[in-house]
C-alpha cells in the first residue's frame, strides 16, 4: 500500500482460484462528507477491467463491541 495525494492505493496479487483474476488494484479516499470511497479494477486474462466503486458511510446507530 502507498499513501499519495490524500488517498491510499494498493496492488495485490491473487493466489488461488479467483475466476481468472490474477491482480487487483484499488484506491481508497476519505471524502469531505465523511464517506469512504473505494474503487477497484481487476486483471483477468491479461486485461484490466471489471472495475467497481463503493461508498461507505458510518451508520449513526452503530456500536463498537470489543471482545
**Boundaries of every domain in the chain:** 2-56
- Strands (E) across 1-66 are located at 2-4, 7-13, 21-30, 36-44, 47-56
Alpha-carbon distance of 66 to 12, in angstroms, equals 29
Alpha-carbon distance of 58 to 35, in angstroms, equals 7
Three-class SS state of 64:
coil
Alpha-carbon distance of 24 to 55, in angstroms, equals 18
pLDDT tens column, 10-65 = 999 999 888 899 999 999 999 999 999 999 999 999 999 988 999 999 898 989 89
Amino acid at each position: 500500500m502507498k499513501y499519495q495525494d490524500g488517498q491510499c492505493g494498493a496492488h495485490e496479487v491473487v493466489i488461488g482460484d479467483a475466476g481468472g483474476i490474477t491482480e487487483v488494484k484499488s484506491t481508497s479516499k476519505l471524502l469531505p462528507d465523511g464517506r469512504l470511497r473505494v474503487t477497484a479494477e481487476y486483471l483477468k486474462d491479461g486485461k484490466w477491467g471489471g472495475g467497481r466503486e463503493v461508498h461507505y458511510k458510518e451508520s449513526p446507530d452503530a456500536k463498537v463491541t470489543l471482545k
